Structure 1
Amino acid sequence: MAARVSAPRRLATLGMFIIDEFQFIDPTTDEDEGDHGLGDNVGGGGTYWTIGARMWLPPSDLSMVIDCGDDFPANVRAALEAYRQSPSTSAKSSESTGTLWRYRPRSDGHGTTRALNIYKGQQRGFKYLTPKIRLDPHDQLYELKLADQMGEDQPPENLEECIAVMKRIDVFSPNHDEAASFLSVHQDRVNLPKTHDGTTPGAAQTVHNVRSSITDLIAARFLALSEPSTATNTPDAEAPLAAMESKRRLGPDGPIVHIRSGALGSLVAHRSLGSKWVGAYHTPQEAKEGVIKDVTGAGNACLGGFSAALSLCEEELVAALGRVGGTAGDTGSGAKDGLELLGRCAAHGSVSAAFVIEQQGLPGMLIAGEDGEEEWWNGSTAASRLERLLAST
């Protein structure tokens, strides 16, 4: 992947910031067990996306709006400010420039958005305790590349709207459950069995089978559904849509499809480049030994890491696509190089997700190294983890 150019790449999210509260209920007696000492946790899809991207980009390259009520906890703000540090700047100087977090007073009379996560055995519930504020592109004052999380529900009746959006964007990245819901694919076809731990005989074949189902039943169908409009298949009323497709940064030949699939890793696919699976960072044995503490936010962190990596290799990817003849499965250098770049982007996402799932809440970050020139996350660098994952792929 080429070195970053001097001009900053600005990424932003329209995802939300939430303060999570917890409630545990005994599944047998229905007794309220409180929050098990967890207290308040920083949450929200936008927050985890930003942290996932932050592992690869300096704070000056990122922006997220946080709507703060009068009750915004000082300790939460202090925790967020730690991520404004980088080897080239301090948290204090970053705050003065408004990078990374853009705190905005909430003007509707409500406090900071809070949500309650309810656990009852294996069942999990979720409800907002404070009205949520959805962000729009105009909330970001800069000319940025925007990343948005999908809505809360992905019923099949929304498929037409989904297809319309896919024809206008460069990257489409649902998780495997969301994608299956859109396409009316049964969840059992795209998920590992509940008894699967990845370390038993036949586990590799099980993973292969489920991955194949996701490739064939989801990714291939999304690529077909997002086939670009042409002069012969576009009614006059949809001509503006065809014009938007032709102006996409990565070209008119459909979006990158990135299916985030938990322990299975993630799948990247493109009509001109083919498809590729990249595994999760933690091995099944590591997972069995308990390295995974809480998967909350992993999908959004994965998307953040993927987005950051894509911004870093965008010029190379555009060049690779320009060398492709335009047919799916093209075996030329353009398709090979382009698919390798997409695989590296997916690997960045896997590493970001791995840092997030190793504890309850957000991962720790500090500036370390002999000369204070390295960012360490949970005791290691993102680059070293990326190297390990790519070596095993």
Structure 2
Amino acid sequence: MIVDRGSDFPPSIQNELEKYGSDMWMFRDQPESRTTRALNSYRGDFRGFEYLTPRIRITPRDLDGTKLAQPAMLHFICSPSRASVIMSQVDDVPGWDPITIYEPIPDRCVPEELPALVKVLPSISILSPNAEEALSLLSYDLSPSKESIEQAASKLLELGVKDSVIVRSGSMGAYITTRDKGGRWVSAFWDKSEHPGKVIDVTGAGNSFLGGLAAGLDITGNDVYEATFYATVSASFTIEQEGLPTMTEAGWNDDSPSTRLEMLKSRHRI
């Protein structure tokens, strides 16, 4: 993960990050700037997001000359117009054809952004909004339900996504639809109604889901359905506490990711 470290970067956060090992991070020092901060607010199922400081942008060109140059997979969160800029820089690099995982930034998931989104979709391997964002982009005046989510995912795929759409749907799980294999649900690892004590803070769940998805794609030979199991397990550790999960000898939060992976897969076996 790339971390823009401003002049006010908290030592306590630095210490926490260093516990995971240096291979986890690539710090970009910004001595003339403050560390980017944002506010996530939750009112029931409604999520608000607001930047509190000027955002610092990153583009594929910024990866040149670093250990992250020309990665096999590229996950980015931004507006559709910024996504077009990112993809134009990818196209400028001969021989670089990454799997692109695009997560539209929440405040741009509005109907007015749909034309710009449609423009970039043919360059996007996997599009992944959450349920509310998908419905909002398409002007669907519907509450999130399995039926409305499947409808939205199919429409987004129809609008030109290269390979797959994954709609992250909270306690309902994730709905995946692809051009060649159709749609499929993968349940959430923790059901809030059945395990209320395990769902503490969902901030970062989408990011960890899509990071886990990228890892799963690499492990499974780009099988997006199988990779979604890895994504779901990754998110399950993020929501168990405020902040980051802890690493122990037993695994994450004293639990084994591979054990959770098998448990999740077993729920979907016929």
TM-score by length of 2: 0.80
Partner residue of 2:147 out of 212, 219, 227: 212
Q: Report the Cα offset of residue 157 of structure 1.
A: 2.0
* Alignment-derived partner of residue 360 in structure 1: 242
Higher relative contact order (CA 8 A, sep 6+): 1
Amino acid at match of 1:185: Y
Q: Deviations over 1:280-320 (max 9, x none)?
A: 001355334x2211111111111111111012223xx4xxx
Aligned AA (2:134): A
From 372, 382, 385, give the equivalent of 2:260: 385
Q: 1:378 to 1:73 in 2, by over 3 A?
A: same
Q: CA deviation at 1:128?
A: 3.1
The 1:286/1:164 distance shift into structure 2, 3 A limit, reads same
Alignment of 1:267 onto 2:192: no
Paired residue for 1:133?
A: 56
Matched, 1:153 2:153: no
Correspondent of 2:228 among 346, 349, 359: 346
Q: Are residues 256 and 120 of structure 1, via their aligned partners in 2, closer, same or farther at CA, if it must alter by over 3 Å? A: closer
1:167 is displaced (CA, Å) by 0.6
AA partner of residue 75 (structure 1): S
1:18-74 alpha-carbon deviations (Å, 9 max, x no partner): xxxxxxxxxxxxxxxxxxxxxxxxxxxxxxxxxxxxxxxxxxxxxx22111222122
| Superposition deviation, residue 343 in structure 1 | 2.4
Letter in 2 for 1:225: L
Amino acid at match of 2:175: L
TM-score by length of 1: 0.56
Counterpart of 1:297, as a letter, is: G
Task: Tell me the secondary structure at the aligned position of residue 19 of structure 2.
Answer: helix
For residues 160 and 43 of structure 2, the distance between their equivalents in structure 1, rounded to whole angstroms, comes to 40
**TM-fit CA distance, 1:78:** 1.4
Deviations 1:151-194 (A, max 9, x none): 23111122122122221121111111111111111241x2xxxx
Structure 2 alignment gaps of length 5 or more: 78-103
Deviation at 1:127, TM superposition (A): 3.7
Report the secondary structure of 2:200's partner residue: coil
Q: How far apart are 1:102 and its partner, in Å?
A: 1.3
Q: Provide the residue aligned with 1:302 in structure 2.
A: 209
Q: Could you tell me which amino acid in structure 2 is paired with residue 159 of structure 1? A: L
Q: In structure 2, how many angstroms separate the alpha carbons of the residues matched to 1:225 and 1:118?
A: 31
* Inter-partner Cα distance in structure 1 for 2:236 and 2:126: 22
Distance 1:165 1:121, change over 3 A: closer
Gaps of 5+ in 1: 1-63, 85-94, 191-209, 228-253, 318-340, 370-375
Aligned residues: 236
Matches within 5 A, 1:1-393: 64-84=1-21, 95=22, 99-107=23-31, 109-117=32-40, 126-141=49-64, 142-144=69-71, 145-149=73-77, 150-151=104-105, 152-188=107-143, 190=144, 210-215=145-150, 217-226=151-160, 254-288=162-196, 290-314=197-221, 317=222, 341-366=223-248, 368=249, 376-393=251-268
| Counterpart Cα distance in 2 of 1:377 and 1:312 | 19
Q: Does the 8 Å CA contact 1:348/1:386 hold for their aligned counterparts?
A: yes
- Which of the pair has more CA radius of gyration? 1
Q: CA RMSD in A?
A: 2.2
